[in-house]
Amino acid sequence: MWRMSEIIDCPSPNHDARKLPISMVVLHYTGMQDGPSAIERLTDADAKVSSHYVVAEDGQVLRLVPEDRRAWHAGKSHWRHITDVNSASVGIEIVNPGHEWGYRPFPRAQMDSIVPLVAEIVKRYDIAPANVVGHSDIAPARKQDPGELFDWEMLAKVGLAIKRPRKNLADPHWTPGGFLLALERFGYDVVDGPAAVTAFQRRFRPETIDGIADGECRAILLSLLLDRENGLSR
């Protein structure tokens, strides 16, 4: 059973007023050499970046921005017709050096803090599992985080994120353009097609990330869309 860690306040000056109701959670990795460096940047007024929470590798949770304020974590991004993602989301930075500084698996203690934190936020705002997303989902041309090593399955098992379809998969044989149309319908920005496919793979087929929409990718996406249309996911 997961227990919510004590939250330590570490205020950041980088926030402003929301313009939209909260309907999303966006998960990031810090992408810096260590946690203290990331926290220093997220609380530096000159950096003009922030998040609502930071989760350290040992599971400690810091609150940088109150949830009723708009933190500056998403940048230029898009998800399911929302373009001011900062206004609509709670941002969680997860301490990890990222692909630039030695990407590594997320420790169990860290994941054990992420799950109840996300659960509380989702419950508070009635956020749909499909709207618990990674930075790469909302900005595929710019971002890779939290990346292919993040344990989305752990969140999915307790209903906090969409499960990866694994059974009764059928390839619809879409053309590459048809796949992008379906991907856009699911929620992705597909202006940069290969980047969008790569982001989808990073999330739903992380064992092979090559930017090519093959039969397995098509079958996974079809299953996700059918579940959504049949009310099995939202």
Q: Which residues pair with 90 in a beta bridge?
A: 25
Do 110 and 58 contact (CB within 8 A), yes or no?
A: yes
6, 57, 67, 93: the catalytic one is 93
Alpha-carbon 116 to chain mean position:
16
Total residues belonging to the chain: 234
Sheet holding 53-55, edge to edge: 7-9, 61-63, 53-55, 89-94, 24-29, 132-134
What is the rounded distance in angstroms from the CA atom of residue 175 to the CA atom of residue 173? 6
**What is the four-CA torsion angle of 8, 105, 144, 190, rounded to 10 degrees?**
-110
Annotation says 93 is catalytic: yes
For residues 48 and 72, the answer to whether their CB atoms sit within 8 Å is yes
Give the pairing type, strands 132-134 and 69-71: unpaired
Say how far apart CA 186 and CA 31 lie, in whole Å: 27
Element containing residue 89 per DSSP (H, E): strand 89-94
- Residues serving a catalytic function are 93
